[in-house]
Amino acid sequence: MSPEQRREAIVTAVLPLVREHGAHVTTKQIAHAAGIAEGTVFRAFTDKTELLQACVTAALRPDELCATVRAVPRDIDVAARLTEAAQLFLDHFTSFGELVHTLAASGFDLRGGPEGKPAGLPEVREQFIRDLTTALASLVDPQELRIPPEDLAAYLQALVLGIRFTATASDTSGADHATAIRARVDVLLRGALAETTDDPREPR
C-alpha cells in the first residue's frame, strides 16, 4: 500500500468517528478504527490536526455524490429527476455542514491550513462545483430546455443551498425538505410568473 493509499484508508476509517466526536476523537480510537498501531497514524500524518483537515477535505469530495446523481433513473420526468438529484445534493451538503459544526464545537480551528483553510479544501471545492454541475446537467436533454443544461444545474445548486442556509435554529438534523425542493424545482422549470396570453418579452 502506497503512502497516499494508507492516508486515504485511515481517513475513510476515521471519518465516522470524527463526525461523532469531532476533535475529541483520540489517537487510540483512530488507530482502532483503522486497524493499525497508533504510531502508524503519525507516520501517515504529521499530527492529528493534519488528519482532521484531511477528513474535512474528504467529506466534501464529490465522487460518490456525483455517481449517485448520475444513477437517477431517466425514465421519470425531468422534474422528478431534478428533485431526486437535489435531495441527494442537499443531504450531502447537510452532512458536510454537520461535520464542520461538530469539529468547530469541539474546538478545532478550521482555518489552520494555508490561506486560513484546511489544506486542499479550495481545490476540492472547485472540483465539487464543477463535477456536480456536470452530473446534474447530464440528467436533462438539452432539447428540453431553452438554456444550457449547465446553467440549469448551477441555478439548481443555488436554490438548494438556499434551503440549507435559510433553515431555522429549530430545524432538526435530517429534516424533510422534500416540499421545499419540489417547490424550487417547479419554479426553476416553470418560472415564477403566472401564465398569461402575453409574451413578457414583447414590449407593451
Task: Say if residues 177 and 163 touch (Cβ distance below 8 Å).
Answer: yes
108 occurs within a structural domain: yes
Is a pLDDT exceeding 60 seen at residue 178? Answer: yes
Give the pLDDT confidence of 25-52 residue by residue, as tens digits: 999 999 999 999 999 999 999 999 999 9
148 occurs within a structural domain: yes
CATH number at residue 169: 1.10.357.10
Give the pLDDT confidence of 182-197 residue by residue, as tens digits: 999 999 999 988 876 5
196 occurs within a structural domain: no
Is a pLDDT exceeding 60 seen at residue 169? Answer: no
State residue 167's pLDDT score.
Answer: 62
184 occurs within a structural domain: yes
144 occurs within a structural domain: yes
The count of domains in the chain is 1
3-state secondary structure of 147: coil
Amino acid at 126: E
Cell numbers describing residue 179 = 416540499
Average pLDDT over residues 17-26: 95
* Helix, strand, coil distribution of the chain in percent, nearest 5: 70, 0, 30
How many beta carbons lie within 10 A of that of residue 204, not counting itself?
4
138 occurs within a structural domain: yes
State residue 201's pLDDT score.
Answer: 59
Give the pLDDT confidence of 113-162 residue by residue, as tens digits: 545 556 567 788 899 999 999 999 999 999 989 999 999 999 999 999 88
3-state secondary structure of 71: coil
Task: Say if residues 152 and 109 touch (Cβ distance below 8 Å).
Answer: no
Distance in angstroms (rounded) separating the CA atoms of residues 179 and 53: 34
Interior CA angle at 148 toward 145 and 152, to 5°?
80
Give the range of the structural domain holding residue 44, as residue numbers without chain letter: 3-189
28 occurs within a structural domain: yes
